[in-house]
Amino acid sequence: MINERNNLQDVTGMTGNEYHGQFSRDTRVDWTEPGLKITRLRLLSDPGFPYWDVSYCHGETADGRLVHVILPFDQLRKPYGRDLIGYLNAANLNGHKLGIWNAISNLS
């Protein structure tokens, strides 16, 4: 887990500042970008609250650029599966090819 106040490292072995520092604020792509692989979709919520808020979404383009991913949603109902499948279907995207299912990180 990333905890910048205590300078803890997450599973990448980086602190929060190191991890987020890889992504230029100017580099944003839509989640429909051909060849995009989502590397992390961070969802936050409070216990008992019925929605997940999207904190951020990061990915890697086919040419290796690390990017912020623009999503068509900023919240998902709990559990998030049904809503996420609906958005994927509406955009004609395959969640497994996109890598989104393995990239979800949530904190409540």
Coarse DSSP helix, strand, coil percentages of the chain, rounded to the nearest 5 percent: 20, 30, 45
Tokens 């809503």 -> residue: 83
Considering the domain boundaries, does residue 29 fall inside one?
A: yes
The DSSP letter of residue 44 is: E
Residues 6-17: tens digit of each pLDDT: 443 445 555 656
pLDDT of residue 107: 87
Considering the domain boundaries, does residue 1 fall inside one?
A: no
Considering the domain boundaries, does residue 70 fall inside one?
A: yes
Between the CA of residue 5 and those of 1, 25, 56, what are the distances in Å? 12, 22, 19
Q: How confident is the model at residue 3 (pLDDT cuts 50, 70, 90)?
A: very low
Considering the domain boundaries, does residue 15 fall inside one?
A: no
Q: How many domains does the chain have?
A: 1
Considering the domain boundaries, does residue 12 fall inside one?
A: no
Q: Give the residue, 85 or 65, on which the prediction is more confident.
A: 85
Q: How confident is the model at residue 51 (pLDDT cuts 50, 70, 90)?
A: very high
Considering the domain boundaries, does residue 9 fall inside one?
A: no
